[in-house]
Structure 1
Amino acid sequence: MSNGLIVGFSGNITRPSSTRRFVDSVTASLAERAGLTHEVFDVEDFGPALAAARAVTDLDPKAQTIVRTIIEADALVIGSPTYKGSFTGLFKHVIDLLDPADLRGKPIILTATGGGDRHALMVEHQLRPLFAFFEAFVVPTAVYASSRDFTDGAPSPAITGRIEQALAQATALLRGRSIPTAIAAE
């Protein structure tokens, strides 16, 4: 594969964050499998200008660079804590700043965390439709984890299995995307 980049973006609005740790872990695993580098950002990285931004150009230079990095990534690992059955508002605000074509064709793994099982469908009912709008290639396996799915920070075997399945799907998409580039170079 290329010398590309896997980017994780977490919708957490506080630090430390179990959601950010989860996104970081999945992002690092995907990057390792794909032979790529990785970076992880969260809402906090955008700074105070985010709340008033109506366009990417309203963000400070650091935040504009983060947006550019997300757009230019070879693949994304997206995660959000679940608040009242949905993703965080500032997470959605970041996504709202993107042009609808910015994520077209980009492989994405969806993850979410929450306090209990009643939020598990947030990934399917909130995140998946959002990224379908952008025409991203969201892998079929999403990973929702509640606090009981972790012991001493390590995911349970059931969650590990879902992560492995999502990683395999995203890796296949990344490999498939690199084939036309290799053929064109010949």
Structure 2
Amino acid sequence: MTAAPLKLVVVSAGLSTPSSTRLLGDRLAEAVRRAVADGGRTVDVRVVELRDLAVDIANNMVTGFPGRALAEAVAAVTGADGLIAVTPVFSASYSGLFKSFFDVIDNDALSGKPVLIAATGGTARHSLALEHALRPLFAFLRAVVVPTAVYAASEDWGGSGDALTDTLPTRVARAAGELAALLVTRPSATVTAVDTVVPFEQQLAALRPE
């Protein structure tokens, strides 16, 4: 019996079209697809573009109710087998749009979910945002973040062929391999037993003295 395709969702917080953030997300997703295929599995990839959900996210923050498009995006993220989360770096951290999206997701919804974090920026000096901002965010959400985080500065896109400095493809392949390994070995979700509900009258009776 052929196993069902794994569900991989790319969350991209890029604001422009075309976007280097989306480009990095696509490269990572393709690398994960190839790595999973080497293990005999297939992957269905869905991309969630946060720029298209900005108004819905803002409305949700104010009203507490998601619009249809946002609700579908949240359902895709929470129902995925794994995530690739990519943001541009603004002021040495993730973008406000990126953070707001994960703020509208229940704190327990990503518990145990494999996540690959990545970011783009104009200079390599902002690469530590992955470690001091994104990794703690997903640790708080109790996701399982792969060891290799991928940062792409402007100079990473125009490779010179120098094996010492053109490391983006190497980092993409390493991170994708780590996420693929988690995807194919992650156990199926188990059903948690529901506690028996004791009627209120029975609870009161237990409190009465003999």
TM-score (norm 2): 0.78
Q: How does 1:1-186 map to 2 (within 5 A)?
A: 2-34=4-36, 35-54=42-61, 58-151=65-158, 157-178=166-187
Cα pair 1:45 1:63 within 8 Å, conserved: no
Residue of structure 2 in register with 1:184 after alignment:
none
**Unpaired runs of at least 5, structure 1:** 182-186
Q: CA deviation at 1:145?
A: 0.9
The 2-side partners of 1:98 and 1:31 are apart by 26
Shift in CA distance, 108/29, structure 1 to aligned 2, threshold 3 Å: same
Q: Which has the larger radius of gyration?
A: 2
Q: Deviations over 1:43-88 (max 9, x none)?
A: 1231522212128962211221011001101100011001110111
SS at the partner of 2:86? strand
Shift in CA distance, 175/109, structure 1 to aligned 2, threshold 3 Å: same
Query: If each structure's helix is expressed as a fraction of its own residues, which one has the higher value?
Result: 1
The 2-side partners of 1:131 and 1:39 are apart by 20
Which AA in structure 2 matches 1:15?
T
TM-score (norm 1): 0.88
The 2-side partners of 1:163 and 1:101 are apart by 28
SS at the partner of 1:68? helix
Which AA in structure 2 matches 1:102?
A
Aligned residues: 178
Aligned-pair RMSD on alpha carbons? 2.1
Which AA in structure 1 matches 2:51?
E
Cα pair 1:82 1:88 within 8 Å, conserved: yes
The 1-side partners of 2:4 and 2:155 are apart by 37
Moved over 6 A (4+): none
The 2-side partners of 1:57 and 1:64 are apart by 12
SS at the partner of 1:40? strand
Q: CA deviation at 1:33?
A: 2.7
Over the matched positions of the two proteins, sequence identity in percent amounts to: 34
Shift in CA distance, 56/162, structure 1 to aligned 2, threshold 3 Å: farther
